Copies of this chain bind each other. A is one copy, B any other.
Amino acid sequence: MTGPETLVIGVVQHPCHERPAENLELATAGIRKAAERGARLVVLPELHGHRYFCQTEDPAHFDLAEPVPGPTTEALAAEARRCRVTVVGSVFERRAPGLHHNTAVILDRDGALSGTYRKMHIPDDPGYYEKFYFVPGDQGFVPIDTSLGRIGVMVCWDQWYPEAARLMTLAGAEILLFPSAIGWDTADDLPERQRQLDSWITIQRGHAIANGVPVVCANRVGTEPASADGVARTIQFWGSSFGCGPQGEILWRAGDAPTLGMVEIDRPRTEQVRRVWPFLRDRRIDAYAGLDRRYGAPATVPPED
């Protein structure tokens, strides 16, 4: 373990507006405030520089992409260096002509780019047309080494996949972070919305529990309107950013307003919890081969006695 025993993480839950400069100001102001309040690490929401452009499939939106490192990375790096905090940001990455990613960038407190994570699981659902924009990541589930230790950064849709959290943990991640942009389709009724929000928090708490690691999630907030042509549906980003400990116990949780959360991670507790709930000990690695299959039932006949 590197860094302080109590790791204070700032979570910037902010809305995203039409003007990118305004969004960058929200992000950098959040970093500054979090650092002033004692954060050593600050997490921003997914694609915090822009309106959630994946509401429609529009080739013009590729103009929003930028290289990594590039302007957003450099602005975040400057703020990280200025405030002496590690920053997890999110960039619409132009890797090559016709090849774009949804990429998390990790800037250490000296402003150096510690690493990137390119979103591995890409959704494609009404209002979230991400497969049009993003090539799935090809870096795998590789945590990033920083001055604060080894950090497992993933992005939004990855949060529904226990495989992702497990692989990050097996690669030594001490904490899992999820920049996110998820919300309600306002056509859904209230009980359905509640189930969706609950399931989103629950599955991420489940990753904390299964792997014995803290999980912190920074979600976007605010309503982004339907397009005039009716193709884009209004999304009410549900906020509810949170942090939980290695038993999935909620440490902090936001509502649906812009906010800055401070999550205190008691890092030695991870070791304590894992001693009493040693799930990594009993994994049946001899019996997990089927996990890299798309689908399929093995023979249902038990072995002969």
Listed in ascending order, the chain A residues whose CB lies under 8 Å from chain B are: 95-96, 115-116, 118, 120-123, 125, 136, 138-145, 157, 160-164, 166-167, 170-172, 195-196, 198-199, 202-203, 205-207, 209-210, 247-249, 276-280, 282-300, 302-303, 305
Contact = CB atoms under 8 A, between A and B. Distances in A.
B122 A283 contact: no
A282 B296 CA distance: 16
A166 B303 CA distance: 21
A287 B120 contact: yes
A210 B292 contact: no
Given A167-B290, A199-B277, A202-B248, 7 more contacts: A141-B290, A163-B284, A163-B288, A170-B290, A203-B209, A203-B210, A285-B291
B302 A294 contact: no
Contact of A157 (B162, B170, B282, B295): B282
Given A199-B247, A300-B145, A302-B139, A210 B160 contact: yes
Instruction: Give this chain's copy count.
Output: 2
A99 to B, nearest CB: 10
Given A166-B291, A302-B139, A120 B206 contact: no
A302 B299 CA distance: 39
A183 to B, nearest CB: 14
B161 A296 contact: no
Contact of A294 (B120, B195, B283, B287): B283
A287 B285 CA distance: 16
Given A138-B303, A282-B157, A143 B297 contact: yes
Contacts of A207: 206
Contact of A167 (B116, B121, B288): B288
A280 B160 CA distance: 10
**Which interface residue of A143, A144, A162, A249 has the most chain B CB atoms within 10 A?**
A162
